[in-house]
């Protein structure tokens, strides 16, 4: 039986008016609707396809505040078998390094053959957490997969770059991150939504996974946002009336903005 852990993140809706919390300059997650990161949906989809092709189970893992349970619930509705939610007030403000520590310690408590990630989170966009987790677990990382193929205990990915396409293989336990090129993620069916209500979700704290509060949180972050300024409202554009000299006015405008 193949056991896959998929790490997912609850992020602010990209279509909403996102901003920072003035209290500590971290992302405001209280005053905006959140959801399962779209890029993580592709990771859930790939894991589900692998276990559906053979025999296995998928456990989704998230780290975040109480509302992050919505990300787990969405993945369960898609077809995952179980969920784990690591929630602790001390985690707030953690950077990628602290987040990778929490994820790695949580994964160590689970039975798994593979760990799947989306290529990045839609709120942070760093794309380094999968590799950091792999390093902490002492596992190979095959990242930015456009296609994933599993044959026994060997995983083959195709990575499409700007100038070349690579084929990468790894065997045994490993960490995989996938891009949005792997194919559209499924929508939860009514049956899946109802079934998700009965699926187990464990709630863990830092103490449960053996992480000291002094290793995480904003005070231990390697970087911090010192200040932020809201984007100014869009102003009306300049209307140029063509009176035979429209081309000249256009060039003058482009030159004034140093485009030409």
Span 188-243, pLDDT tens digits: 999 999 999 999 999 999 999 999 999 999 999 998 888 988 888 888 887 878 88
* Percent above pLDDT 70 for the chain: 100
pTM above 0.85, yes or no: yes
Phi, then psi, of 241 in degrees rounded to 5: -90, 125
Positive or negative: CA dihedral 132, 137, 138, 143: negative
Supply 240's token pair.
């140029």
Q: What is the pLDDT of residues 101-140, one digit of tens each?
A: 999 999 999 999 999 999 998 888 889 999 999 999 999 9
Tokens 């997650």 — which residue? 29
pLDDT of residue 235: 85
For the chain, domains (ranges, CATH) are 2-220 (3.40.50.620)
pLDDT of 16 higher than 80: no
The residue with tokens 């290793």 is 215
* High-pLDDT (> 90) share of the chain, %: 72
Cα–chain center distance at 38: 7
pLDDT of 206 reads: 98
pLDDT greater at residue 20 or residue 134: 134
* Angstrom distance (rounded) from CA 189 to CA 43: 18
């Amino acid at each position: 039986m193949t056991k896959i852990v998929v790490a997912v993140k609850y992020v602010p809706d990209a279509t909403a008016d996102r901003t920072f919390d003035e209290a500590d300059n971290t992302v405001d997650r209280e005053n905006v609707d959140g959801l399962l990161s779209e890029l993580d949906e592709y990771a859930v989809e790939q894991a589900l396809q692998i276990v559906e092709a053979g025999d296995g189970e998928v456990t989704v893992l998230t780290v975040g505040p109480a509302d992050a349970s919505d990300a787990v619930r969405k993945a369960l509705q898609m077809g995952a078998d179980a969920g784990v939610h690591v929630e602790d007030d001390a985690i707030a403000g953690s950077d990628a390094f602290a987040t990778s520590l929490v994820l790695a310690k949580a994964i160590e408590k689970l039975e798994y053959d593979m760990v799947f990630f989306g290529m990045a989170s839609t709120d942070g966009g760093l794309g380094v957490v999968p590799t950091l987790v792999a390093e902490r677990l002492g596992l190979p990382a095959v990242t930015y997969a456009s296609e994933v193929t599993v044959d026994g205990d060997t995983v083959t990915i195709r990575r499409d770059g700007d100038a070349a396409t690579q084929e990468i293989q790894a065997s045994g336990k490993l960490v995989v991150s996938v891009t949005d090129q792997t194919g559209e993620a499924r929508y939860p069916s009514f049956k899946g939504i109802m079934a998700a209500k009965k699926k187990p979700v464990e709630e863990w704290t830092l103490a449960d996974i053996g992480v000291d509060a002094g290793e995480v949180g904003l005070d231990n972050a390697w970087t911090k946002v010192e200040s932020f300024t809201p984007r100014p409202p869009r102003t009306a554009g300049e209307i140029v009336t063509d009176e035979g000299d429209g081309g000249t006015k256009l060039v003058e405008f482009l030159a004034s903005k140093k485009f030409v």
